[in-house]
C-alpha cells in the first residue's frame, strides 16, 4: 500500500526567488507533495492586505521541481487564497510560510506578510506555520533552520493544531548545536518608536521613508517570544485570528449608552 503523502502549500513574503523559501521548499519536499504559490516580488510589511482594487497576475514556473509552482503579483494572503481556491484540488494538509529573512516576534506578527499568510491558512482551516530566521541578510545560513522547520512541521502534521490557531516560529541566528531548545511562548509586549526619514526629491519636494526602533516593553517575564529568541531558544507563539478582547466585553457592557 502506498503511503499517504501530505499535500503542502508553501508561500512567503520575501518573494519566490528568496533563499528562505528555497530552504523551506527543500524541507517540505521530504515531507509530502508540494505546491508553491508565492509573490513575484518582496511583499514585506504587507500585513493582511488583499488585492481588491487591482487585478492579480499568476505565472506558472518550474524551478523547484515540485508538484505545481506559481508566482503571483499579489500579497502573501492573496497567494493563500488563490492556492486554496483556484489551484489545489483538495484542502492542503499543511500550509507553511517563510523562511522569512528576519524575525517576526512580538507585535510584528501583525505587520508581517509571512505570518499573515499563515493566519490566512488558519482562517481557511489548514494547519499553518510561519517561519522566520533572525538574520536579515540575503546570504543567511539556513542549515540549522531546516532541521528546526522539519521537526516542527512533522509535529504539526502528526498532531494538527487547535481550531483557529496557527504557529509563529522564530529561529535564532545560531548553529544547531548552540540552540538551547524550542519554547512555546506568548507574544511579547513591544512597540515601534517610529521615525520618518525625510528627504527631498530633485524638485525640492519632501518624501519620507518609514523607519524606527523596536522597543521591548516586556522585560520582566521569561514567557515571551523575545526572551526565548534572545536566550538562544526557538520561539513558537500559537497565534489566533479571533481579535476579540473577550475580557473587555463585560467591562464595556457596563457603560450606559
Is position 51 an interface residue for a second copy (rule: CB under 8 A)?
Answer: yes
- Cα angle 184, 235, 74 (rounded to 5 degrees) comes to 115
192 backbone dihedrals φ, ψ, rounded to 5°: -105, 130
Compare residues 139 and 201 and give the one whose CB is closer to a second copy: 201
207-226 footprint of a second copy as x/- string (CB under 8 A): xxxx----------------
- What is the smallest separation between the CB atom of 231 and a second copy, expressed in angstroms? 16
Q: Is 65 left (phi over 0), alpha (psi -120 to 50) or beta?
A: left
Binding segment toward a second copy, per CB under 8 A, in 17-25, 37-45, 93-101, 169-177: 37-45
- Cα angle 173, 77, 207 (rounded to 5 degrees) comes to 75
Near a second copy by CB under 8 A: residue from 147, 150, 155, 173: 155
Compare residues 12 and 44 and give the one whose CB is closer to a second copy: 44
Binding segment toward a second copy, per CB under 8 A, in 19-27, 93-101, 105-113, 126-134: 105-113
Near a second copy by CB under 8 A: residue from 90, 177, 194, 220: 194
**Element containing residue 77 per DSSP (H, E):** helix 76-82
DSSP string for 102-155: S---GGGGGT-HHHHHHHHHHHTT--EEEEEES--STT---HHHHHHHHHHHHH
User: Across the strands, what pairs with 191?
Assistant: 215
Closest by CA to 169, choosing from 189, 158, 183, 188, is 183
Give, in order, the Cα–Cα distances in Å from 212 to each of 39, 54, 103, 193, 197: 26, 30, 15, 5, 9
Binding segment toward a second copy, per CB under 8 A, in 29-37, 43-51, 88-96, 135-143: 43-51
Are 129 and 156 a contacting pair, CB within 8 Å?
yes
Near a second copy by CB under 8 A: residue from 1, 139, 181, 220: 181
Near a second copy by CB under 8 A: residue from 3, 89, 90, 159: 159
- What is the smallest separation between the CB atom of 76 and a second copy, expressed in angstroms? 11
Near a second copy by CB under 8 A: residue from 11, 12, 44, 128: 44
Near a second copy by CB under 8 A: residue from 78, 79, 100, 229: 78
Compare residues 65 and 251 and give the one whose CB is closer to a second copy: 251
Amino acid at each position: 500500500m502506498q503511503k499517504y503523502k501530505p499535500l503542502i502549500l508553501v508561500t512567503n513574503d520575501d518573494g519566490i526567488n528568496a533563499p528562505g523559501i528555497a530552504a523551506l521548499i527543500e524541507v517540505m519536499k521530504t515531507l509530502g507533495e508540494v505546491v508553491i504559490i508565492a509573490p513575484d516580488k518582496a511583499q514585506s510589511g504587507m500585513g493582511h492586505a488583499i488585492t481588491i482594487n487591482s487585478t492579480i497576475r499568476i505565472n506558472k514556473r518550474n524551478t523547484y521541481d515540485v508538484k505545481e509552482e506559481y508566482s503571483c503579483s499579489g500579497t502573501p494572503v492573496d497567494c493563500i487564497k488563490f492556492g486554496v481556491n483556484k489551484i489545489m484540488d483538495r484542502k492542503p494538509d499543511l500550509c507553511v510560510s517563510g523562511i522569512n529573512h528576519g524575525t517576526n516576534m512580538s507585535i510584528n506578527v501583525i505587520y508581517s506578510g509571512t505570518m499573515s499568510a499563515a493566519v490566512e491558512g488558519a482562517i481557511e482551516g489548514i494547519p499553518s506555520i510561519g517561519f522566520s530566521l533572525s538574520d536579515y541578510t540575503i546570504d543567511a545560513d539556513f542549515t540549522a533552520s531546516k532541521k528546526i522547520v522539519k521537526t516542527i512541521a512533522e509535529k504539526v502534521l502528526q498532531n494538527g493544531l487547535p481550531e483557529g490557531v496557527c504557529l509563529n516560529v522564530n529561529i535564532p541566528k545560531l548553529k544547531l548545536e548552540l540552540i538551547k531548545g524550542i519554547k512555546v511562548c506568548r507574544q511579547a509586549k513591544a512597540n515601534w518608536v517610529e521615525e520618518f526619514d525625510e528627504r527631498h526629491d530633485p524638485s525640492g519636494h519632501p518624501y519620507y521613508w518609514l523607519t524606527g526602533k523596536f522597543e521591548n516593553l516586556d522585560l520582566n517575564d521569561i514567557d515571551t517570544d523575545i526572551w526565548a529568541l534572545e536566550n538562544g531558544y526557538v520561539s513558537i507563539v500559537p497565534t489566533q485570528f479571533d481579535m476579540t478582547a473577550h475580557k473587555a466585553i463585560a467591562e464595556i457592557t457596563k457603560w450606559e449608552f
